[in-house]
Amino acid sequence: MESEKRGPSRRGFLTGGLAMGGAAMAAGAAQAGEKAILELPPWTTQLGDGVDARPYGTPSQFEAHVRRRNVAWLTADPVSSVNFTPLHELDGIITPNGLCFERHHSGIAEVDPAEWRLMIHGLVEKPLVFTLEDLKRFPRVNRIHFLECAANSGMEWRGAQLNGCQFTHGMIHNVMYTGVPLKALLDEAGLKPNAKWLLPEGGDAAAMTRSVPLFKALDDCLIAFKMNGEALRPEQGYPARLVVPGWEGNMWVKWIRRIEVGDQPWHHREETSKYTDLMANGQARRFTWEMDVKSVITNPSPQAPIVHGPGPLVVTGVAWSGRGTVREVHVTTDGGNNWHQARIDGPSLDRSMHRFYYEFDWDGKPLLLQSRAVDSEGMVQPTKDRLREVRGVNSIYHNNGIQTWHVRENGEAENVEVS
């Protein structure tokens, strides 16, 4: 695993600064004689780049550590692999396009939009083939939704394993999609009375397929061509992907090239051998589409230790539910003995990420931090023990159990479990 060891050294730097000043001070207070204030830095004494230097902007050079990361041992081959969103470096609810985790079964298809086509066929009155320009003549909508891979947190079923919320929870992103409701395209083709299921297929080398029930397609699925206002990134399915709000990421077919309409599910690889949940009794649950209510504390966390002493501490994280909005998030600092109401801030949207904060005065003692989300359906995020009682430990999918971070007196955090 590529891991980061920034925390302790940053901490050392801060401590050093304090020692030089010779006096203890409150977090964030100004210090008389501070060199960074008295001496003008180069960015104040020299002209900066002009507007022609950066036609497509990128983050500050000092943010170079904020990036997607993979776990080398998870997959033998980077072409059929996954990397993870750096949740601990983000705030608010929107994932920047360049940081959205990627999951490819056969690498990134580089599709020429002029050559791209979407076919709708099968149980329809009029089989149709759309160009990208055709799509843009349908009324379009904007929707903010999370996409979570069903395997997110899948390595944690048997116990705490990966040290960082990027790795335990980073198979999720949340962006604004612009696209056309799939219903409009199906209406154009005209559904036959016995139409019940759809089979979207990707245009990548995996030609990935999933059976999607018609009721979902008519309800809220989109064919999206923009994310956060700009064209989809190649990694996310450029020029168009299927959006299946609240349902497992595997169904969100990228580089979509055709949709077959049928009267029953196809039982292809991704819904039989994969993306089914093997129970303790050896039977498997299939078509477990919804992503249940879940949350995680992103700061502090193993990759984002506390870098100050006792006093005001901001605990923050994200929560989401594939069944609606998040109604409440609770935070505990003592492993679940006492729960406190966290503050949800920012938009609370259907099947979208929510941001929560819990601010308190840290006494500098070790913490067992957990968050627990409750969704608009009243579903409560379960403990990992409770989840295992029902589901066993054979599964890798749909682990929405409560995450624990053990924070030590020096501010460093690690992935643990409490029972």
Ligand X SMILES: Nc1nc2c(c(=O)[nH]1)N[C@H]1C(S)=C(S)[C@@H](COP(=O)(O)O)O[C@H]1N2
- Is 237 a binder of Mo ion (CB under 5 A)? no
Contact window for Mo ion (CB under 5 A) among 50-58, 109-117, 244-252, 411-419: 244-252
Nearer to ligand X, 208 or 331 (CB): 208
* Residue nearest Mo ion, CB atom distance: 149
Minimum separation from the CB atom of position 150 to ligand X (A) = 7
Q: Which residue has the tokens 């023990």?
A: 385
Which of 236, 250, 276, 333 forms a contact with Mo ion (CB under 5 A)?
250
DSSP track, 361-398: EE-SS-EEEEEEEEETT--BPPPHHHHHHHH-S---S-
The listed partner (Mo ion, ligand X, none) that binds 105, CB under 5 to 8 Å by sort, is ligand X
- Is 149 a binder of Mo ion (CB under 5 A)? yes
Which of 86, 164, 245, 249 forms a contact with Mo ion (CB under 5 A)?
249
The listed partner (ligand X, Mo ion, none) that binds 147, CB under 5 to 8 Å by sort, is ligand X
Output Rg (C-alpha) for the chain, integer angstroms. 24
Size of the site for Mo ion (CB under 5 A): 4
Could you give the CA distance from residue 177 to residue 282 in angstroms, rounded to a whole number? 39
Cis, bond preceding 300 (omega within 30 deg of 0): yes
Q: Name residues contacting Mo ion, limited to 86-115 (CB under 5 A).
A: 103
Task: For residue 313, give the amino acid letter.
Answer: L
The token duo for 236 is 């996310």
Is the distance from CB of 194 to CB of 246 less than 8 angstroms? Answer: no
The listed partner (Mo ion, ligand X, none) that binds 236, CB under 5 to 8 Å by sort, is ligand X
Output the CA angle 50-51-55, nearest 5 degrees: 125
Minimum separation from the CB atom of position 106 to ligand X (A) = 6
The listed partner (ligand X, Mo ion, none) that binds 204, CB under 5 to 8 Å by sort, is ligand X
User: Quick one: how far is CA 196 from the chain centroid?
Assistant: 30
Residues 6+ apart with CB under 8 A from 389: none
- Is 122 a binder of Mo ion (CB under 5 A)? no
Could you give the CA distance from residue 368 to residue 356 in angstroms, rounded to a whole number? 18
Could you give the CA distance from residue 120 to residue 128 in angstroms, rounded to a whole number? 5
Task: For residue 199, give the amino acid letter.
Answer: L
Minimum separation from the CB atom of position 233 to ligand X (A) = 8
- Is 170 a binder of Mo ion (CB under 5 A)? no
Q: Site residues (CB under 6 A) for ligand X?
A: 100-105, 147, 149, 173, 202, 204, 206, 208, 235-236, 249-250, 252-255
Nearer to Mo ion, 149 or 293 (CB): 149
The listed partner (Mo ion, ligand X, none) that binds 255, CB under 5 to 8 Å by sort, is ligand X
Nearer to ligand X, 31 or 81 (CB): 81
406 three-class SS: strand
87 three-class SS: helix
DSSP track, 94-128: PPPGGGS--EESS------TTT--EEEEESBSS-E
Minimum separation from the CB atom of position 349 to Mo ion (A) = 22
Minimum separation from the CB atom of position 24 to ligand X (A) = 46
Residues near Mo ion, by CB under 5 A: 103, 149, 249-250
